[in-house]
Structure 1
Amino acid sequence: MKIQYKNIYIFITLLSLLINNALQAQEVNNEALINQDTIGISIEENHMDIGYDKQRREKVTSSISTVKGKDLEQNFNLNLGNTLYGRLAGATVTQGGSEPGISAPGISIRGLNTFGNAGSGPLYVIDGFVTSGSGTSNAFMQLVPEEIESISILKDASATAVYGARAANGVVLVTTKTGKEGPMKVSFTTRQGFNQAQSLPKFLGAYDYSLLYNEALANDGLAQKYTASDLEAYKNGSDPLFHPNVNWYDEVLQPIAPVASYDIKFTGGDKFIKYFVMANAINSNGLIKEFGDLDEESSNSKYEKYNFRSNLDLNITKNLLAEFKIGGAIERIRNPGTYNVGGTFTLLQQLPPNAFPVFNPNGSYGGTNIYANPVGNLLSTGFAETNTRTILASLKITQKLDVITKGLSVSGAIANNNYFESGTIKTKTYPRFSITKGANDAVIYSPATGQLSPLTNTDETLDQYRNITIQAFLNYNRTFGKSDISAMTMFNTDNITLNGTTANATDPYKHNSFSGRLTYMYDNRFIAEFSGSYMGTETFAPGKRYGFFPAGSVGYIISNESFLKDNNTLNFLKLRASYGLVGNDVIQTLGSGTRYGYFQTYGGPGYTFGTGNSGFGGFQENTIANPNITWEKEKTLNIGLDFTIFKNLHISYDYFNRDRYDILVSANSIIPAFTGIPSPNLNQGKTKSEGFDMSLRYNFNSKKQFRFFAEINGGYFENKIVFNAEAPNLNTQSLRTNSVIGQPFGLNAIGFYSADDILLRQTDPASVPGVVTEVIKAGDIKYQDIGGPNGMPDGIIDVNDVMAIGNPSMPNFTMGLHTGFKYKGFDADFVLQGVTGNTVYLGGNTFHAFQGNGQVGPIALNRWTPETAATADYPRLSSRDNLNNYQYSNFWQRDGSFIKLRSAEIGFTFPTNVAKSIKMDSVRFFLTGTNIFSIDKIEYGDPESLAGYPVMRTINMGINLQL
């Protein structure tokens, strides 16, 4: 904290000096201000990344969305994926938590179009090379915006076909920054701020807990636990030792935690060499309290990340070019004790406020044989540290062959992507004691639960992989009169070696591919393109390892017709259409226990014989092998429209239709379970998806230095499972066929049982159905009975009564608004994201009162009682784990729609003469906020994170210096 305060002091001193100089300035260099681009309004580049190549924008007939790295810098996050909310049309980014260094969001392109255990995430490509890993270990998530030129998502088959069997879920392309010819420019940016929880679960205090627990006991026909004197002590807080009222979140979490970042960049070059060099550091303390300051054998929660990058472009000769890129990240994560997201936050959500005090009078930890002490867990069980290293290095050599024919070139490239994660765990145990009041208020200690042990050390390798890629290219670009031809052919081979906990981790994952793209443009009006890949992988059986993935697209630039060229309203109009085939080979984990589904495996516990069922060792066939197993395939149609009107309004719209087949599923509809044969995995599954995505951008520049822009993007999709080979069921409403991918299935709640229902159930149980494992009482949740033959009631509520309820957890409509303005030296930038079409589930101790001896939240205040039967929206309270009320049902589902202000930044760029007075080219001060507010329908938490580590709000101020 002292370091943070020192940084802030230096920052404020420098800022005061700058403001003083600004007030004394007599004039402002208006021309310089107009040319500066501090809010993301810039002239679009003439070329865009289309995968393994760049192409002039007017020639592109594919569906691609792009965001610039400089725009992402305005959203301060510890993980790159969390900067993409609301930024890319067609991308759905879902919160994966906010724990520093651990959490990574989910990214889907045009929704989901597969199911089961098949991979549904996109392919990540950095500077032309596929990256490995998942979650935070993926090299993409390790990058920082400061090193990124652009991020693009490839959405249709014409854009992704060159990636063949790896591209059906879309492709995320990252282009890192390179140097530009000119004198060296230096840029330094620092941010100083803090994190805080956007929302935390809410629970009732000890008095309300005890009062409601007595009611729950009475509802169960049990004696009350808390007397009137107990309730009074909880209410007035007069006896914190034997009647504690502990807010465990306050004991474990701090309200704010410091965060800081530092970034320095060098760029420049001449006609022989151009360079971009960057170093970036991020520090975050997280929300866990500073337990390391209280015990030298514990540790403060700390996250550190250091990124570096050096990109060089060399002109070795006039026709021989070289590109060398190296970048990486070093991470260090420390946490106290037995902390982990699942264990720590589950305990915080479960532990009642009156369970025990944090510390007993003799200084020992409070606790019971049921509950551990969260403070003791973090203060007296040691600490853990993980260290990760990510390195991405590539070298590409290009030889121009104009001597053979103009526009011809050949290239060769090699890249290496390495990731290594190691851990050090220091562990010990501690005793905890429960206390009771004896005679004369004496404190009586129970026998210890647990014991004191010394600190022990364990070092381990947690994860590692390496990916080596070799590529060869032949490129051709030439214009003949009105004909413009560009062509690319390439060979790619990559070898990914894992050494983690994955099954068959030591076997390399290998891909070979021959890819190509041919684009023809006539008279700047008509465009035709063919692309494709012939790709193979060792995952499948010999003779089944290679496949061809073609795609074609056409475009028509109508605005270049003579009758529209002088139109001042319609400045640009292009129609696009594409159709093609791509694949998804991430299917190896489904059911077979091995990634080689064509290879028969054996195992099992053995066999039993005789009347005594004596066991004997042996082997049996696991899931039956399928020698014809292959990748998923998807045929995709895309129709697009791009146009510009009034020079400042740019609109792009795409409609897509995706048909995926050969999805790997268990053959439950073919081989019944009673045969005893492990059902083989067959490529029989089918899905269908369609929807649209669009983007709209408006720019306004006035002669009075006022500039404004607004960009709206959105995406919508509908999907369904066409066939999944599921077994027949008498309850047809429980079948997944024709349902939405990810559709939740559960019971349909139809209100509460009334007292009359209970009386009727006692005389005629079949007329008032209920679960057979629970004694139903008035105030319990009542469910629809559909589980009999032909969907008729059978008087029992069980698994046969499930039906489609609510919506999937992934929203099917996402919209983003990016807007900002600049006036003279002032600028502002805002990003809002909205989603709908999803459902969240209220589960666990936050919402299920007293379950697992847990807490009770304010949601239970409007519970059912005989007096509130007409208005209650929560079932009767029960002290037991009620097997009826907490069935998975739509009673606990809520609309997950929200609108969030994902980021906001306001800044001020000092006049040029003020900057020059301190030997700077440019000085800018800014204030940034991330995850600032949410408008949603969830009263008791954030719809993206109802449990575990809370969503973080970040506020920071910063300064950028350029010289």
Structure 2
Amino acid sequence: MNAKNYSTIGLLSLLYLGLCQVTEGQVATKDTVTTARPLSFSDRNTDRPIAYGVQPAWKVTSAISSVSGNDLRKNLTTNLGNTLFGRLPGLTVGQSGGEPGNDSPSLRARGTNTYGTGRNVLVLVDGYESSYEQLVPDEIETVSLLKDASATAIYGLRGANGVLLITTKRGADSPLVVNFSTQQGFHTATRLPQFLGSYDYARLYNEGLKNDGKAPLYTDTDLDAYRTGSDPYFHPNVNWYDQVLRKTAPISTYNLNFKGGNSSVRYFVLLNAVMSNGLYKNTGDMVAESVNSQYSRVNFRSNVDINLTKRLSASLTLGGSVEDKSNPGGTTTGGIFNSLATLPPNAFPVYNANGTFGGTSALSNPLANLLQTGSYTSNGRTIQTNLRFTEQLDMLAPGLSVSAAVSFNNFFRSYSDKTKQYERYFATKGVAGDTLYTRFGQNTSLVGNEANSDQYRNIIFQGFLNYDRTIGRHSISALLMYNSDSYTNTTQGSNAIESLPFKHLGGGGRLTYTNSDKYIGEVSVGYMGSEAFPKGGRFGFFPAASVGWIASNEAFLKNNALVTYLKLRASYGLTGNDQIGSPNRYFYEQPYRYTAAYYLGTGNTQVNGLVEGVANPNVSWEKEKKLNVGVELTLAKRLDIGLDIFRQDRYDILAAPNSTVPQYIGTTLPQLNQGKVTNSGFEATVRYSSGPTTGTSASQLQYMVEASGWYAQNKIVYNSEAIRLYDYQYTTGQPIGQPFGLQALGLFRDQADIAASPRQIFAPVQPGDIKYKDQNGDGIIDQNDTRPIGNTSIPTLTLSLHSRLQYKGFDLEFLFQGVTGRTTYFGGTLFQAFQNNGQVGPIALNRWTPETAATATYPRLSASNNLNNFQFSDYWQRDGSFIKLRSLELGYTVASQLISRVKLSNARLFVNGTNLFSLDRMDGYADPEVIGGYPPLRTVSIGIRLQF
């Protein structure tokens, strides 16, 4: 029996156990099918997730934003990270492409805070670090982003980048509720690159040759054959995207969950399956040596809470997934897309006249690569478990409790790589008019490699002492905790196994005091150490404090009909980041990891050897001081306003001392904790709603409109960079990742313009070439003239518009996200015509010629690699701002009298769309988030949700 069969039996067993916990005779209760109303006046007493616990929302003085799992269901995607666009104020999600199973986004809280290696947020699932991207919205209660020091200091040297808390659903003291849902839809590419056909390619290539002073390659007869398509084998016109990709690819998802319990046992049990096909044609259906591009995953979860005695309770969390991925040709398909974007349309036909594959020695056939080079499949397994016991110690002190928890999390993925080669032929016409075929490559048998695998596993122990007591107008909540976690990343290849262990040890505490439900004070501390640092410097202390004032509970606002809620809060503290150099993170050890070549003897023989590096015995983690001031306001119980202003000062960032030690001393310098970055900005949310439904108003129009915006701008204060010739070349004072390049002044008008301009050394220039600005006034354009140009790829400002409307049984919900303050770059074969024997895109149609000199927006064409025109410069930069419709859903809830006969408590039909369109400055050439490679996906689906 294979692994899949074992997995299926395990999932069915979990569902059976969950059903066995249901008390006979329980009746399904109605649960709303629309998403919960966002946090507002009526939700102030609702518990909100915080570090290692929950607090009523009115008590929270930290900067925390949350979204419910029900809201995340509005985006149909295989990766949980890609449901978070625009959902959490302060969270920047970086799109990486749309390939199912290989679409992990980056997650950054309040922009970028360090130029070091570790920039992403710390992600915890139910309080423990674990793989999160395989989770599905149906098993998630909330996702919360902890942003300021009072929220993250307790995480010690791991909290500076922010913390993303994912809380899964649990049972309730209620009758059994069964939910079933399914969605059936299809993917399409948001945008695919557009290239010119063979006729335009050939005539523009001739023009480029002419501009280079060379004879044309294509005759008038060739051009006519390309234009008419009369000779498809010797004058092909191949759109390789059409040959390799299909227009749509199916996706489907199924979900079944059970929730309920009683005063003794509460449970939530889930089984979810998702299947998504890639955009490639089903090559596995065509030949036995290939496979179809597919991704499938089964998720299971069983969360159980048990009252063992009156004082002792236990909580068991068990979740996991089994995923399978297959691709023709390779583990990921970035190479295929690079080939599609490079191969000229007239290079060769897909198939020659005799049925063989077209190709040359240097250029392979993209379709044949999918059909004839083998396959790459993988199987991933994730398990997330934790067990927690809690004992109430009211006999010692009312409100006192102690708990202990252990968690084990494991992710393992194995790979099966089957490769082969194939024959391809280039056809030419012989003297007698016959066809001659030149063979390249050879047919081989499949060769398998089953040795590669990746594994992540951790084990975590935690202990807690909690105190929660209210005496009169005074309320005290206190927490002391101990944490020990160890985790290992293991990569196994054909010849070696690399295992990287990590260890953290420490604890923390939090004390919250409230007076008269008006005044709130909180102090939190973290104390944590890591084995990545030298003895005597492995542990750090991270304090934070916050205060809050609920002014609306004061007498002068107590019964105010306009200001129904007003809270002011502020926080300040110290946090840390220990992700400073993995995998070579033991900077305090003497390194010999560098290599050098020595040439010895009369034969000048090369001998490789090790080079001694310089250790840093005082290496430490990055530290950050965080200041946050916020206000929460509700007017007339309808209008909610939230505003946070923050400043974050990161210091002790690792940097080489290039400013004080010259490179000519001939040694590799150690990384020292001397870098500094400052980051500041704001987050604002405005929400207006129609209020709760009462009486007959439930049949009227109900609505909610929420607009959010968050801004973060960082600046490098110090990075010990080498001394520059000119001040404008320093990265100090610039944002992290600031592009440096040449400043373009347009195109040279004529030879006189060239003669009157500084000399550009990259290549001989002609009229129609790009003219650059001489920044230092030396009369020469070279790398000394590079300066800051444009913005980084990370937006400084993100905007979100979320709205929900409901009228009788109909509901409509949408989410727009917009970003600005970012720059994209028009590089590569899509924009650089004929470079590296590549294609030419429509952008080149508006090229410079003597006739179009006044209106041209593209430089003159060149059939060779033009070293002048394609220098990194602002000529090829574009405003990367965009507005995207991230989700749209239209649904109808069937009237209860129509479904009561089949014992349904709720039934809802809906149509759903994800990433439906984008408004941007890319002129239709590419998606503004992912310019090259596998494109982001647009998804349209229909679905049904049933509740019993």
TM-score band, normalised by shorter chain = over 0.9
**TM-superposed deviation, 1:640:** 0.4
Task: Report what 2:794 is aligned to.
Answer: 810
Matches of 2:257 and 2:500, distance apart in 1: 40
> Which residue in 2 is equivalent to 1:184?
176
Q: TM-score scaled to structure 1, two decimals?
A: 0.92
Out of 829, 838, 858, which is 2:822 matched to? 838
610-619 or 548-557: bigger deviation: 610-619
1:522-541 alignment, distance < 5 Å: 522-541=515-534
The secondary structure found in structure 2 opposite 1:559 is helix
Instruction: Tell me how far 1:757 sits from its aligned partner.
Output: 4.2
Distance of 1:504 and 1:685 partners within structure 2: 34
1:39–1:828 CA contact under 8 A, matched in 2: no
Which residue in the other structure is 2:3 paired with? Answer: none
Tell me how far apart the structure 1 counterparts of residues 193 and 404 of structure 2 sit (CA, whole Å): 55
**1:290 CA drift (Å):** 0.6
Identify the residue that residue 442 of structure 1 maps to in structure 2: 434
Aligned AA (1:240): P
- 1:197 is aligned to 189
**1:659 corresponding residue in structure 2:** 649
Q: 2:690 is paired with a residue of what secondary structure?
A: strand
Q: How does 1:93-108 map to 2 (within 5 A)?
A: 93-108=93-108
Q: How does 1:338-487 map to 2 (within 5 A)?
A: 338=330, 340-439=332-431, 441-446=433-438, 448-487=439-478
> What is the aligned partner in structure 1 of residue 763 from structure 2?
774
1:349 partner SS: helix
| Match of residue 943 from structure 1 | 928
Give the deviation of 1:618 after TM superposition: 4.4
Question: What SS is found at the alignment partner of 2:652?
Answer: strand
User: Cα deviation per residue 1:324-359 (whole Å; 9 max; x = unaligned)?
Assistant: 001011110111124733210110000111110000
Deviation at 1:124, TM superposition (A): 0.5
| Aligned counterpart, 1:958 | 943
Unmatched 5+ stretches in structure 2: 1-28
Shift of 1:656: 0.1
Residue 580 of structure 1 corresponds to 573
Distance 1:757 1:63 in 2: 61
Amino acid at match of 1:121: N
Q: Determine if contact 1:413/1:472 at 8 Å carries over to the other structure.
A: yes
Q: Give the aligned residue type for 2:555.
A: S
Which residue identity does 2:719 align to in structure 1? N
Question: Which residue matches 2:874?
Answer: 890
Shift of 1:596: 0.2
Are the equivalent residues in 2 in contact too, given 1:39–1:821 (CA < 8 A)?
no
- Map of 2:5 onto structure 1: none
Residue of structure 2 equivalent to 1:728: 723
Supply the distance in 2 between the matched residues of 1:360 and 1:84 (Cα, whole angstroms): 48
Any conservation in 1 of the 2:754–2:766 contact (CA below 8 Å)? no
Asked whether the equivalents of residues 39 and 827 of structure 1 are also in contact (C-alpha less than 8 Å), the reply is no
Q: Which amino acid aligns with 2:713?
A: E
Q: Percent identity?
A: 51
Alignment map for 1:516-915 (pairs within 5 Å): 516-589=509-582, 594-602=584-592, 603-605=594-596, 607-608=598-599, 615=606, 618-622=609-613, 624-701=614-691, 703=697, 704-757=699-752, 760=755, 768-771=758-761, 773-786=762-775, 792-915=776-899
**For structure 1, which segment, 602-611 or 287-296, has the greater mean C-alpha deviation from structure 2 after superposition?**
602-611
Match of 1:500 in 2: 491
Supply the AA of the counterpart residue of 1:567.
N
* Residue in structure 1 matched with residue 21 of structure 2 by the alignment: none
User: Retained in 1: the 8 A contact 2:360–2:440?
Assistant: yes
Task: Give the secondary-structure state (helix, strand or coil) at the position aligned to 2:794.
Answer: coil
Alpha-carbon deviation of 1:99? 0.4
Report deviation, 1:94.
1.7
CA distance in 2, matches of 1:821, 1:39: 11
Which digits, 9 at most, give the CA deviation of each residue in 1:860-894, with x for residues without a partner? 00101111111111011001111111111111100
Counterpart amino acid of residue 503 in structure 2? K
Question: Are 1:497 and 1:505, in contact at CA under 8 Å, matched by a contact in 2?
Answer: no
Q: CA RMSD in A?
A: 1.7
User: Contact (CA 8 Å) 2:832, 2:870: kept in 1 or not?
Assistant: yes
> Deviation per CA, 1:669-708, whole angstroms, max 9, x where unpaired?
1110011121111001001111001222222046243210
Q: For the residues of structure 1 that align with 2:386 and 2:839, how far apart are their CA atoms?
A: 54
1:612: Cα distance to partner?
A: 6.8
* 1:196-245 deviations in Å (ceiling 9; x for gaps): 11110010011111110000010011110111111111111111111110
- Does the 8 A contact of 2:451 with 2:492 survive in 1? no
1:228 aligned to which of 220, 230, 251: 220
- Is the contact between residue 539 and residue 588 of structure 1 (CA under 8 Å) also seen in structure 2? no
Q: 1:145 to 1:759 in 2, by over 3 A?
A: closer
SS across alignment from 1:605 = strand
User: 1:616 offset after TM fit, Å?
Assistant: 5.0
Secondary structure of the corresponding residue to residue 230 of structure 1: helix
Structure 1 position 824, deviation (Å): 1.0
Please say if residues 85 and 833 of structure 1, whose CA atoms lie closer than 8 Å, have aligned partners that are also in contact.
yes
Distance 2:759 2:120 in 1: 43
Amino acid in the other structure paired with 1:456: V
Q: Distance in 1 between matches of 2:654 and 2:900?
A: 65
Residue 617 of structure 1: how far off its partner (Å): 5.5
CA distance in 2, matches of 1:223, 1:40: 70
Q: Which amino acid aligns with 1:40?
A: A
Structure 1's 525 and 505: CA in aligned 2 closer, same or farther, altered over 3 A? farther
Instruction: Tell me, in whole angstroms, the C-alpha distance in 2 between the residues paired with 1:758 and 1:651.
Output: 57
Q: Quick check: 1:744–1:806 contact (8 Å CA) kept in 2?
A: yes
CA–CA separation in structure 1 for the residues paired with 2:483 and 2:431: 81
Q: Cα gap change, 1:633/1:338 in structure 2, threshold over 3 Å: closer, same or farther?
A: closer
Aligned partners of 2:771 and 2:396: how far apart in 1?
Answer: 80
Contact kept in structure 2, 1:753 and 1:782, CA below 8 Å: yes
What one-letter code is carried by the residue in structure 2 that aligns with 1:243? H
CA contact (8 A) 1:571 1:647 kept: yes
Q: Deviations over 1:706-751 (max 9, x none)?
A: 2101122210011100000001111221110000111111111111
Deviation, 1:800, is: 1.7
> Alpha-carbon deviation of 1:962?
0.9
Report matched runs for 1:214-293 at 5 Å.
214-293=206-285
State the Cα deviation string for residues 561-607 of structure 1 (Å, max 9, x = none).
01111101101111001000001100024xxx721000011242354
Deviation at 1:368, TM superposition (A): 1.0
Letter in 1 for 2:391: Q
**In 2: Cα distance, 1:806 partner to 1:640 partner:** 32
Worse-superposed segment, 298-307 or 910-919 = 910-919
Post-superposition offset of 1:918 = 2.1
Where structure 1 has 5 or more consecutive residues not aligned to the other structure, the ranges are 1-31, 132-138, 762-766, 787-791
More off after superposition, 600-609 vs 329-338: 600-609
The equivalent position to 2:312 in structure 1, one of 301, 310, 320, is: 320
Amino acid across the alignment from 2:77: N
Q: Quote the offset at 1:439 in angstroms.
A: 4.2
CA contact (8 A) 1:165 1:631 kept: yes
Does the 8 Å contact 1:108/1:121 carry over to 2? yes
Residue identity matched to 1:130: E
Q: Distance in 1 between matches of 2:257 and 2:608?
A: 65
2:79 aligned partner = 79
Aligned length: 907
Contact 1:758 1:777 in 2 (8 A): no
Q: Scaled by the length of structure 2, what TM-score is found?
A: 0.94
> Residue 789 of structure 2 aligns to which amino acid in structure 1?
I
d(CA) in 2 for partners of 1:489, 1:159:
15
Task: Tell me how far 1:507 sits from its aligned partner.
Answer: 4.1
